Chains A and B, each alone.
Chain A
Amino acid sequence: DVKVTQSSRYLVKRTGEKVFLECVQDMDHENMFWYRQDPGLGLRLIYFSYDVKMKGKGDIPEGYSVSREKKERFSLILESASTNQTSMYLCASSLRGIMNYGYTFGSGTRLTVV
């Protein structure tokens, strides 16, 4: 089974801190994604990557950046954390070019910014 591992389940950070959320997948997937999930707003795409060193902005990229130096790892960076970034963050991966192949999600990181 494909496994997508997010490094932390729960994280508490202070306003203004630089925060790194790590995601690693073990099945050689080309595509990786970061979403945030908030009550009443569903899943919103922050950034995606279709290849190493490639990144694309999703629907809500402001305040975030990403890094993909290796195929298996996709990091989400909060440059200066703010309280409105308190949320559940979900990483996902998938194979490229196969229409019926779904996403595999990690277990999520619940981030609280105080």
Chain B
Amino acid sequence: GDSVTQMEGPVTLSEEAFLTINCTYTATGYPSLFWYVQYPGEGLQLLLKATKADDKGSNKGFEATYRKETTSFHLEKGSVQVSDSAVYFCALKNFNKFYFGSGTKLNVKP
């Protein structure tokens, strides 16, 4: 069945460092791909999305490219801030059903 695998955390970075959180997926058909972010004590918020191969989603300096050949949707940011500390979830949507990764906690130190 469909599934999402993302790198385990926590990931700890210094402010202004480059961020990559890996995400790969398994799916039939043509899923849409998403990244959600969860700040402490909050629900999940949509960060970015991509709906077809080679699409790039971007928001708040984060970006991810839908790579069908490698079934990946890695999240990147060129310079992280302390305020980016959160849990990040990769997800896919296929046939009206969502599949979430297990989440990756990011800690950014000043």
Docked Cα-Cα span, A40 to B10, in Å, equals 11
Chain A contact surface mostly: loop
Binds B, one of A69-77, A79-87, A96-104: A96-104
Chain B residues with CB under 8 A of A103: 44, 46, 98
Q: How far is the CB of B9 from chain A (nearest CB, A)?
A: 11
Contact of A43 among B34, B46, B96, B100 (CB under 8 A): B100
Chain B: residues with Cβ within 8 Å of the partner, total of 22
A99 touches B101 (CB 8 A): no
List 21 contacting pairs A-B, 8 Å CB cutoff, sorted by A: A6-B43, A33-B98, A40-B102, A41-B102, A42-B100, A42-B101, A42-B103, A43-B44, A43-B100, A90-B43, A92-B44, A96-B96, A97-B96, A99-B93, A100-B49, A100-B93, A102-B32, A102-B34, A106-B43, A108-B41, A108-B42
Residue B89 CB within 8 A of the other chain:
yes
Chain A residues with CB under 8 A of B45: 105
Which B residues are closer than 8 A to A by beta carbons? 30-32, 34, 36, 41-46, 49, 51, 89, 91, 93, 96, 98, 100-103
Contacts beyond the supplied A100-B49, A100-B93, A107-B42: 5 A-B pairs with Cβ under 8 Å: A33-B98, A43-B103, A99-B51, A102-B36, A105-B44
Nearest B residue (CB) for A33: B98
Docked Cα-Cα span, A104 to B96, in Å, equals 14
Task: Kindly state the interface size class of chain A when it binds its partner.
Answer: 20 to 34
Which A residues are closer than 8 A to B by beta carbons? 4, 6, 31, 33, 40-43, 50, 90, 92, 96-97, 99-100, 102-108
A102 touches B46 (CB 8 A): yes
